[in-house]
Structure 1
Amino acid sequence: MNKFFFILSFLFLVISCKKNEQLKNYKDLNSREYFSIPTDLKNMRNIEKSKINDSLYKIKGLFNNYIIQGYMNGNKKVGWWEAFDNNTKEIVAKLEYKFIDDKEFVNQYFLFENKSIDTLNSKFYTLKKNGDLLNYRFYTSVLYKKTQPEGKLNYHFYSNGKEVSHLQCRCKKYKNFYDCEFTIPPNSKNISIRGNFWELFQIENGNVGENEIYVRDTLKQ
């Protein structure tokens, strides 16, 4: 399964780079740490840089047996990055970088199994509109056995660029995703939504874990 070879590849690199350090278990790495290894230019070879504008570049390089490509604004990773198997050319991972609180943040990531998204080991969200009803669905990895999980969406609702409301939605938990539904305020136009989903849970060793996904969406009328 491609995604596991991809994960193991950069874990071996971490170990080789930190021979004299106490290495924490990869399950304890957050998503930024987890994916920073294969997307770090210092760990790539045969790097190609294509200039998009004065500050934005497209990056393409090799990490072990994987093609890594994405975008950098100055020295910061931005937007969507992808990893492909260099032999089969099939996609094995895709991740979205955002810059939050002056730090690179992996907002969403997809791991692929036979060209399909592995929803049990990915972190992402979907948005569906049915009339005046909006449904946000947030997928989080089941890498841990979670106890007492809860998820909330804090969001700002805008109409014609003006903030109409700032609310919190308590999400309903299913196996590996949370659902949050709310209605569009009446007479809203040129709608946009900004906010963040937050999952809090406890794992078997008693530690507390969390996941965050930032949302920023514009609805087509």
Structure 2
Amino acid sequence: MHVFATLGSFLSHFSDVLVPLFGGSATAAAIVLLTLGVRLALHPLARSAARGERARTALAPEVQKLRKRHKNDPERLMRATSELYAKAGVSPWGGILPLLAQLPVFFVMYHLFSTGSSGEGHALLGAPLTGRWADVLGHGGVAGPHGLVYLGLFALVGAVATWTYTRARKAAAAAALPAPDASDPTAAVMAKVTKVAPLLAFGTLVTVAVVPLAAALYVVTSTTWSAVERAFLQPLRTPEGAEGAIPAK
């Protein structure tokens, strides 16, 4: 496909520029820098999602009133809740837009290096970008040069996941929002996503292990950016009147 050839050509030229700085790891450095560029371009979406989260928190008391008012009429409740969000200019699914926008780039990166042709001869500290975690067993084992590259990635992902999970648990405890009414499907789904989302960070460990190293670099870089970005944007999520709140722009 044309998009694969275009990105492959761009990575090749970009890595050539970086060779004087990174040597044999120039392509790996190009992937990391490309990932940072993608996430920087998506930052406005992340800011919008943070403001949306703040707005949804502010609307929580009104939503609770609607649940009590229409607790015996789920269809009417869904309609009234949708109207409330629409009137406030808030999307209940706005928080997933930054994630969805990244998927095409990850897919292209995975395709390029899973075939082996585009990444042949490129490596990160000796570990081939087309290789996977299972391949290190045949190249010095877990403690070998290739294995140490993956151990470094696992350590970084584990640290980021732990930090993300801890912050999410503290934020949930501080918010102490009432349990969603079972008659409100949207609220119930969002509550489940909120509860499971912090654990997904640990799932990145599995992703890093099974995808080609090039795609793993994209995932690790993007996950680390997400953790830092979420902490940076926390004031935008804080309701007015709470500690650290700032006006939404």
TM-score (norm 2): 0.27
Structure number with greater CO (CA < 8 Å, separation at least 6) is: 2
Instruction: Determine which structure has more spread, i.e. the larger CA radius of gyration.
Output: 2
Q: Which is richer in helix?
A: 2
Q: Quick check: which one's strand share is greater? A: 1
